[in-house]
Amino acid sequence: MANSNYEYVKSFEVEDRLMPSTWIVVRIDGCHFHRFSEDHEFDKPNDERALNLMNSCAMAMLEEFPDIVFAYGVSDEYSFILKKTSQLYERRASKILSLTVSFFSSVYGFMWKEFFPNKKLKYPPYFDGRVVCYPSAKILQDYLAWRQVDCHINNQYNTCFWALVKSGKSKMEAHNLLKGTQTQEKNELLFQQFSINYNTLPAMFRKGSCVFKDKVEDIVKFNEDGDPVRRYRKKVIVDHCDIIGKSFWTEHPNILAE
Ligand code: ATP
Ligand code: ATP
Ligand code: MG
Ligand code: MG
């Protein structure tokens, strides 16, 4: 039977190319991670192992897809930025989105035991995703600032919430105590009741994680005089930078260079 009898079904596929010359942002988020984190006994409010696992998955993404120039992650979410000129899968949205979500989910399960050696996965973790195009560096930076502000707000709330719960308050009481409080009040509560100075908590908790390629110096050998011979190369790194202010972007002009 000739296959051409059936080929017309292809014509039902719709074109889904993303706008050219725009930064492509794919944001993935863990599905039902509230429950997943409880079922796997994550430390609260921040499980460092889980965050490091998310960061390793993001680093694997940058190694696998060189068009990703930057990634930002917090909690169970990660945003991946593809360069403006990317022609990955002809910029087809469904391809780019499905690859990101499936690769990330798969690496998460694959690397789980490295970060939780004594904890078996009880069921498969999975992620949802969306893709949005941003036409200018300014809007893209605002997008990332929006995610980092969200990280600040949630982390401060969660730090207070769990300090109260661990001190014996019920979840409902903790929730009611915090309702309507401002940043300053939360900082004072942490300091006065729990001697926690919010600003000295780990940067990974307060700022989230940035993944990008940076120049690193390697000592490749030592010459006859015993002096080191250095070489620079690009390496995927994780850092916990402030990306709300302008300074990160002026110090790393290559990341969003057109
Ligand atoms: P949805 O499926 O709609 O995304 P969700 O349960 O995943 O629902 P989110 O709003 O995405 O809800 O929030 C993720 C939740 O996962 C957090 O509220 C927190 O309880 C938990 N979580 C994620 N990462 C960590 C971590 N590193 N340490 C502790 N808890 C975490
Ligand atoms: P793409 O990334 O574009 O999907 P691909 O290499 O996955 O490329 P497909 O057109 O999806 O190519 O075809 C899948 C290929 O995988 C098959 O041609 C076959 O070689 C191999 N394959 C898949 N499943 C099996 C299987 N059960 N046994 C043997 N080979 C398989
Ligand atoms: Mg989630
Ligand atoms: Mg989330």
82 touches ligand 1 (CB under 6 Å): no
CA distances from 138 to 22, 30, 74, 107, 141 (A): 12, 28, 21, 32, 5
**Residue 234 falls inside a structural domain:** no
In a domain, 254, yes or no: no
Is 50 a pocket residue for ligand 1 (Cβ < 6 Å)? yes
Residue at 5 is within a domain: no
Q: Report the CATH number that the domain containing residue 35 is assigned in CATH.
A: 3.30.70.3000
pLDDT per residue as tens digits for the range 62-82: 999 999 999 999 999 999 999
User: Is residue 130 domain-resident?
Assistant: yes
User: At residue 17, what is the residue type?
Assistant: R
Q: Number of folded domains in the chain?
A: 1
Q: Sheet harboring 127-134: ordered strands across? A: 127-134, 23-30, 77-82, 68-74, 209-222, 228-239
103-115 confidence digits (pLDDT tens): 999 999 999 999 9
* Ligand 1 pocket member 46 (CB < 6 A): yes
Structural contact between residues 75 and 48, judged by C-beta atoms closer than 8 angstroms: no
How high is the pLDDT of residue 1?
Answer: 66
pLDDT value of residue 52: 98
Q: CB of 29 closer than 6 A to ligand 1?
A: yes
Ligand in nearest proximity to the CA of 95? 2
Q: What is the reported pTM?
A: 0.93
Please indicate, yes or no, if residue 258 is contained in any of the structural domains.
Answer: no
**Residues of the domain holding 88:** 16-145
Q: 141 lies in a domain?
A: yes
Domain presence at residue 110: yes
Protein residue with its CA nearest to atom 27 in ligand 1 = 47
232-249 pLDDT tens trace: 989 999 999 999 999 999
